[in-house]
Amino acid sequence: MNHLDYYKFQTQARGVAGLKDIQKIAFSRSHIYQRIVLPHLPQKMECNIVELACGHGSFLYWLKHTGYRQITGIDSSLEQVTAARTVGCPIQQADVMEWLARQSTQSVNVLLGIDLAEHLSKDSFMELLKESNRVLSAGGTLVLRYPNGDSPLVGLNLFNDITHVWTYTTNCIETLSKMHGFSSVQFKDESDAALRDARWLKVPVSKASTFIMRQLVRAATREDIRYWSPHIWAFLKK
């Protein structure tokens, strides 16, 4: 047994026993997807969206529930694929990089890699950016979520899974996106978006706390940290 065998147990470890569990997870994160991801998705419900390393399919369930009709999931784990198929979307069991290499140029409107980048070697991540840019249609978007390399709290998520390899700062992602032909990249911190109840109180407190920490860290280290959440989203526009 080696550390990659952990993949075989991820679904069980996360408590996903069936569709009801997937729906519960999708609902618990739907407010984050609504606030962070939806503004970057095409308005046409017929657009072609593919989630790379889709896992048990909770994000696909949210996409389907939101109204998108042409959505596909890709994952190499049989256990994850079996769970994701209960959502009722086309799911292919395949290695993400091999699947991308087989796709036609400019054939997909949106590619998503949620909690994927940290599982890839640096060379594989470079290949992912290169192939994603080729496969995306003009104006298409690559959506990534990964442990936030800018944040002092990054270790909470980077080292929370034995299969994690590496992560990136916003500066690094900006450089790599330009290097691989993307026209722009936007980042979204999860902190405020993750707040669901009593937002009238919690959002101002969060913003004030972040401002104070930012000023203290800048004074102590001269580092100006803009994104503090342990996770961050990046939207790379072709």
Q: Does residue 188 form part of some domain? A: yes
**Is the pLDDT reported for residue 209 higher than 70?**
yes
Q: What is the pLDDT of residues 33-60, one digit of tens each?
A: 999 999 999 999 999 999 999 999 999 9
Q: Does residue 189 form part of some domain? A: yes
Helix (H, G, I), strand (E, B) or coil at 109: strand
Q: Does residue 217 form part of some domain? A: no
With left for phi above 0 and alpha for psi between -120 and 50, is residue 88 left, alpha or beta?
left
pLDDT at 60: 98
pLDDT at 163: 87
Structural tokens at position 44 = 């046409």
Q: Does residue 206 form part of some domain? A: no
Average pLDDT of the residues of the chain: 93
Q: Name the band, by pLDDT with cuts 50, 70 and 90, for residue 12.
A: low
Q: Does residue 198 form part of some domain? A: no
**Is the pLDDT reported for residue 137 higher than 70?**
yes
Q: Does residue 212 form part of some domain? A: no
231-237 and 184-189 strand pairing: antiparallel
Determine the structural domain holding residue 45 and report its residue range. Answer: 3-193+229-237
Please state whether the predicted TM-score (pTM) of the whole model is above 0.85: yes
Q: How many domains does the chain have?
A: 1
CB-based contacts of 54, cutoff 8 Å, min separation 6: 60, 73, 74, 75, 80, 84, 91
Give the rounded percent of residues in the chain with a pLDDT score beyond 70.
94
Q: Does residue 181 form part of some domain? A: yes
CB-based contacts of 203, cutoff 8 Å, min separation 6: 192, 195
CATH number of the domain to which 177 belongs: 3.40.50.150
Q: Does residue 71 form part of some domain? A: yes
Q: Name the band, by pLDDT with cuts 50, 70 and 90, for residue 208.
A: very high
